[in-house]
C-alpha cells in the first residue's frame, strides 16, 4: 500500500499511486515523487521525438513541452505515430498534442510551434531536463552550454537511417544505486537448514549514494585523436562516433539530413565529408567503410523505438536520481542490432 501524499508539487495522490504502482515498486516512492515534480522540454517531433514523448508521458513526469516549428509532411507518417491522418500542413507539435495527452491525462502536455533557435536563454532554465532531436550541431552546443551552466539535465539524440545516438550531460549528478548486502558467513552451518533457507530467501539490499561528473557536448565532440595515448583510445572507440561527426557536419552544411530523393548527390557529399571530417579529427577515412552512406537515409521506425527507449529511460533515471546513467554517449547500429555506451571527452 502507498499512503496518500499531497504535500507539495511532488506529492503522490492515491490515484497516481494506483497509476504508477509498478514503477513505485520498481524504483521506490521517492524516485517517483522526484519524477512527478519534473518538467521536460522535448525539441523535435519526428519519429525519435515521438518515441521519447511517449516514454516520458507514460512514466509520469509533471509536464512535457513539445517544441517543433515544422509543418507535418508526408514523411512523418513513416515513424511519427502521434500525428493523426490528414494533418499535413499543420504544425507538427500542435498536431501531436491530442494523442500525446491521451497517453496519460495526469501529465501536463503542451505544444510550442516556435523555432528552438528563436528561444532566449531563460526559456531553457525553466525546465528540469531538456532533450533535443533534429537540431543542428550549433544549436545543440549552444543549448547544452546554457543547461550546463544552469544545472539543467541535457540530452540530445537523433536517428539517421539504421544508425542512432544519444548524448547526456548531467553536470554534477548524484544518484542512488541498489546493491546487495554482503552476507556474513556462519561457521558450521554450510550444509544445514539455515544455509538452505539463506539460499532460498531473496538477498537483502542497501541503497548506495554515488556521484558522476559529465562533460559538455562541445568537449565530447572535440576530442584530440593525435598522439600515442589517443591512438590507444582510438582502437577502443566505436566508429559510430566518427559517423556522427560526419552526419552532423552534413546537417550543418545542407540544413537537412541525407534524403532518399537526392540519394546519389547526398552519397557523394557524405563520401567527401568522410575524408574531410576524419582527416580534420586526425584519423583516417578508413574508419568508415566506402559504403557507409547507404545506411544513413531516413528514419527507420525500429531504430527510433530502440534509441527512443534508451533516451527516454536515461531521462527518467536522471530526474528520479535512481540507478547509474549512461556517461555520456550511446550508439545504436541497426545493421548489427547492437548498441554501445562510450565515455568520450576530456579526462574528468
Sign of the CA dihedral 314, 318, 322, 324? positive
* Residue 268 and residue 330 share a domain: no
User: Does position 5 have pLDDT exceeding 80, yes or no?
Assistant: no
What pLDDT shows up at residue 206? 86
Per-residue pLDDT band at 198 (split at 50, 70, 90): low
Closest CA to 140 of 154, 129, 126, 152: 154
What share of residues in the chain are helix, strand, coil (percent, to 5)?
Answer: 45, 20, 35
**What does the pLDDT read at residue 8?**
43
Rounded to an integer, the average pLDDT of 274-285 is 93
User: Quick one: 165 and 307 in the same domain?
Assistant: yes
The grid coordinates of residue 174 equal 548524484
Sign of CA dihedral 251, 273, 141, 138: negative
Question: What is the rounded radius of gyration, in angstroms, for the C-alpha atoms of the chain?
Answer: 22
Residue 229: helix, strand or coil by DSSP? helix
Residues 264 and 335 in one domain: no
Residue 184 has pLDDT above 80, yes or no: no
* The pLDDT value given to residue 205: 81
Q: Within a domain: residue 165?
A: yes
How many domains are there within the chain? 2
- Is residue 81 in some structural domain? yes
User: Are residues 269 and 156 part of one domain?
Assistant: no
Same domain, 311 and 287: no
CATH number of the domain to which 113 belongs: 3.40.50.720
C-alpha cell at 244: 556522427
- 62 shares its domain with 154: yes
Indicate whether 329 pLDDT > 70.
Answer: yes
| 103-157 residue pLDDT tens | 999 999 999 999 999 999 999 999 999 999 999 999 999 999 999 999 999 999 9
Q: How far apart are the first and last CA of the chain?
A: 43
pLDDT at 195 over 90: no
Q: What contacts 3, CB < 8 A, 6 or more positions away?
A: none
* pLDDT tens column, 154-174: 999 999 999 999 999 999 999
Given a cut of 70, is residue 294 above it in pLDDT? yes
Pair (73, 166) in one structural domain: yes
pLDDT at residue 78 is higher than 90? no
Per-residue pLDDT band at 191 (split at 50, 70, 90): low
Range of the domain at 30: 21-173+299-342
What residues contact 54, with CB distance under 8 A and at least 6 apart? 82, 100, 103, 308, 312
Assigned domain for 134 exists: yes
pTM for this one? 0.89
Beta bridge partner(s), residue 66:
42, 111
Would you say residue 178 lies in a domain? no
For residue 4, pLDDT over 60 is answered with no
Based on the domain organization, do 338 and 312 belong to the same domain? yes
pLDDT tens readout for residues 213-233 = 999 999 999 998 988 888 888
Task: Judge if 166 and 130 occupy the same domain.
Answer: yes
pLDDT band, residue 193 (cuts 50/70/90): low
Whether omega for the bond prior to residue 213 falls within 30 degrees of 0, making it cis, is: no
Percent of the chain at pLDDT above 90? 73
Contact partners, residue 39, CB within 8 Å, separation at least 6: 61, 62, 63, 64, 65, 126, 127, 128, 129
13 belongs to a structural domain? no
What phi and psi values does residue 315 have, to the nearest 5 degrees? Answer: -65, -45
Give 266's contacts (C-beta < 8 A, 6+ positions apart). 250, 254, 258, 259, 293, 297
Grid cell listed for 112: 510550442
Residues 126 and 257 in one domain: no
| Same domain assignment for residues 75 and 167 | yes
Q: Which three cell numbers stand for residue 162?
A: 539504421
Q: Quick one: 125 and 35 in the same domain?
A: yes
Amino acid at each position: 500500500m502507498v499512503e496518500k501524499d499531497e504535500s507539495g508539487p511532488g506529492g503522490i495522490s492515491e490515484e497516481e499511486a494506483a497509476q504508477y504502482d509498478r514503477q513505485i515498486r520498481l524504483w521506490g516512492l521517492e524516485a517517483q515523487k522526484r519524477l512527478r515534480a519534473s518538467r521536460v522540454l522535448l525539441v523535435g517531433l519526428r519519429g525519435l521525438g515521438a518515441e521519447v514523448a511517449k516514454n516520458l508521458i507514460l512514466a509520469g513526469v509533471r509536464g512535457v513541452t513539445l517544441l517543433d516549428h515544422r509543418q507535418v509532411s508526408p514523411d512523418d507518417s513513416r515513424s511519427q505515430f502521434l500525428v493523426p491522418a490528414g494533418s499535413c500542413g499543420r504544425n507538427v507539435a500542435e498536431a501531436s498534442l491530442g494523442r500525446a495527452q491521451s497517453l496519460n491525462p495526469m501529465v501536463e502536455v503542451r505544444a510550442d510551434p516556435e523555432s528552438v533557435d528563436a528561444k532566449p536563454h531563460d526559456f531553457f532554465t525553466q525546465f528540469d531536463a531538456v532533450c533535443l532531436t533534429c537540431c543542428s550541431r550549433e544549436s545543440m552546443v549552444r543549448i547544452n552550454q546554457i543547461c550546463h551552466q544552469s544545472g539543467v539535465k541535457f540530452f540530445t539524440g537523433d536517428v539517421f537511417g539504421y544508425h542512432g545516438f544519444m548524448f547526456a550531460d548531467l553536470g554534477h549528478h548524484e544518484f542512488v544505486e541498489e546493491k546487495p548486502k554482503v552476507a556474513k558467513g556462519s561457521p558450521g552451518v554450510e550444509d544445514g537448514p539455515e544455509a538452505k533457507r539463506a539460499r532460498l530467501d531473496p538477498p537483502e539490499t542497501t541503497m548506495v549514494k554515488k556521484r558522476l561528473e559529465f562533460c559538455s557536448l562541445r568537449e565530447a565532440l572535440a576530442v584530440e585523436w593525435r598522439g600515442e595515448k589517443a591512438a590507444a583510445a582510438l582502437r577502443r572507440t566505436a566508429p559510430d562516433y566518427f559517423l556522427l561527426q560526419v552526419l552532423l557536419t552534413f546537417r550543418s552544411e545542407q540544413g537537412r539530413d541525407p534524403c532518399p530523393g537526392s540519394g546519389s548527390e547526398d552519397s557523394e557529399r557524405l563520401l567527401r565529408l568522410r575524408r574531410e571530417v576524419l582527416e580534420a579529427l586526425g584519423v583516417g577515412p578508413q574508419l568508415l567503410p566506402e559504403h557507409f552512406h547507404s545506411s544513413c537515409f531516413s528514419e527507420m521506425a525500429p531504430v527510433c523505438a530502440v534509441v527512443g527507449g534508451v533516451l527516454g529511460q536515461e531521462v527518467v533515471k536522471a530526474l528520479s536520481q535512481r540507478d547509474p546513467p549512461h556517461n555520456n554517449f550511446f550508439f545504436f547500429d541497426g545493421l548489427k542490432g547492437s548498441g554501445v555506451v562510450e565515455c568520450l571527452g576530456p579526462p574528468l
